[in-house]
Amino acid sequence: MASQDPLRNVVAAQKRGSPKGIYSICSYNRYVIESAMEQALEDDSAALIESTCNQVNQFGGYTGMRPMEFREYVLRIAGSMGLGSDRVILGGDHLGPFPFRDEASAVAMDKAREMVRQYVLSGCTKIHLDTSMRLADDAGDASTPLDPRTIAERCADLCAVAEQAYASLREQNGNAVAPLYVIGTEVPPPGGSGEAEEGLRVTEVADLQETVWVTRDCLVRLDLYDAWERVIAVVVEPGVGHGDHTIVDYDRDKARELTDSIRDFPHLVFEGHSTDYQTARALREMVEDGIAILKVGPSLTFAARETVFMLQYMEEELLKHNPNVTLSRFRDTLDGAMVRNPRHWERYYEGTGDEVELARRYSFFDRARYYWMDQQVSGSLGLLIRNLRSTDLPLPLISQFLPHQYKRIREGSLRKDPEALIRDSILDILMMYSTAVGNRGLPT
């Protein structure tokens, strides 16, 4: 299976009027990626795994991984799950100067070029180019959007770098797969924002048209005709999102003018970001309406975090009176890591001390996902897993804290293993996405 075929097939199916899609996992969490591989195996489909410019870049990002290291990390997990590398699509999300936006444009763009180059050289074949953010020396009011022509010129600049990197790959391997491109951006920016609390504005058709045609013009000016033919999607805001404790559900009637407009672009589909926490019906309607690429991430780590918290409650009930056992104290360890290093959440959570503490633990933003690789947090999680594996998990406790998983254990389709329980909670969400994009039959 050529790694680009599933994406091209989705576009072709959409243009035939068939509501097919693909979901993209934007996460570095091991349990999430393992679950994505498991779902792909069950569906006999490809697994599309992406990293953002903040997660992975030439400086390590907040994961500490460079693009090639992320590739190796994902493919190791795929191998451990029995999924062949030919069924893994790697992508880069929001590739551009966003991590360097506080620097002058010359410096920020130079760093963005190197980041894009490394992503392509690492074998990423789905490249989302996003140059919509203002840089430190951009003229004009900082509160207004950047000029579309500037955005498009910078996008074309990065596309040229990607094409050069692909040419270098082809010199080494004549079978190297050409990158497919996604353009445009959405509200909110990478990582989310509080805008769902205030309401979301559906992308105007005029703005979509300007993004597409100005980007095409800038690519053509750089003789990137072939690259333009490989632009398969444009990111839009279809009016979905989530806040700290609110969810904005997809309303196909409000998005109708936008979604109808995709018919004007014979080789493009929409890519929807921030589709987390949407209902199964909403996800299916989005795919039916041409939002054929569904990005998901925080809701998957949210599910993993929920399950780990439930596992800790079980650990405490089972082992708190055993003097020979050191309890994991995972919840407190995670919160302690967040308090020590607040940079990943402090702009997102407001209110009294109690309200902020509650948000750190339970917010839909799930900023806790940034701390799973913290040494103390990962050590605490490891201790929790070992403690639970040292004893037999009683069915009544599983029923109390994880009732959906209890049913599957009783049916014989799930093991009483703590890590299997974590993955199963993630799979509950992935199955909705799998159904929405047409990998599974619709429920009767």
* The last residue of a domain, from among 272, 296, 320: 296
In a domain, 29, yes or no: yes
Residues forming a β-bridge with 182: 128, 233
Beta bridge partners of 56: 65
CATH of the domain at 423: 1.10.400.20
For residues 411 and 374, state if they share a domain: yes
The reply to whether 389 and 253 lie within a common domain is: no
Shared-domain flag, residues 251 and 108: yes
pLDDT of residue 98: 96
Q: Please tell me the least confidently modeled range out of 135-144, 198-207, 209-218, 289-298.
A: 198-207
What's the CATH code of the domain at 203? 3.20.20.70
Q: Residue 188's pLDDT is what?
A: 45
Asked whether residue 23 carries a pLDDT value surpassing 50, the answer given is: yes
pLDDT digits (tens, 9 = 90+) for 381-416: 999 999 999 999 999 999 999 999 999 999 999 999
The contacts of residue 356 (CB under 8 Å, 6+ apart) are 349, 350
CB atoms within 10 A of CB 392: 9
The answer, yes or no, to whether residue 439 has pLDDT greater than 80, is yes
Give the total number of structural domains in the chain: 2
Residues 68 and 140 in one domain: yes
- Mean pLDDT calculated for residue range 42-46: 96
Whether 324 and 262 share a structural domain:
no
> Do both 208 and 61 map to the same domain?
yes
188 and 312 part of one domain: no
**Are residue 100 and residue 205 in the same domain, yes or no?**
yes
Shared domain for 308 and 287, answered yes or no, is no
Reported for 189-192, long-range contacts at CB under 8 A and 24+ positions apart, including other chains, are 189/94, 189/98, 189/133, 190/52, 190/53, 190/54, 190/93, 190/94, 190/98, 190/130, 191/52, 191/54, 192/241, 192/242, 192/274, 192/298, 192/348, 192/365
Kindly report, residue by residue over 81-137, the tens digit of the pLDDT. 999 999 999 999 999 999 999 999 999 999 999 999 999 999 999 999 999 999 999
Alpha carbon of residue 342 to chain centroid: 22
Whether 192 and 134 map to the same domain: the answer is yes
Q: Are residues 289 and 362 in the same domain?
A: no
Q: Is residue 437 part of a domain?
A: no
pLDDT for 120 equals 98
pTM, entire model = 0.94
299 burial via Cβ count (<10 Å: 0-12, 13-18, 19+): buried
- Assigned domain for 444 exists: no
> How many other β-carbons are positioned within 10 Å of the β-carbon of residue 340?
10
How many Cβ atoms sit within 10 Å of the Cβ of residue 111?
17
Is residue 272 included in any domain, yes or no? Answer: yes
Does residue 2 surpass a pLDDT of 80? Answer: no
Range of the domain at 418: 302-432
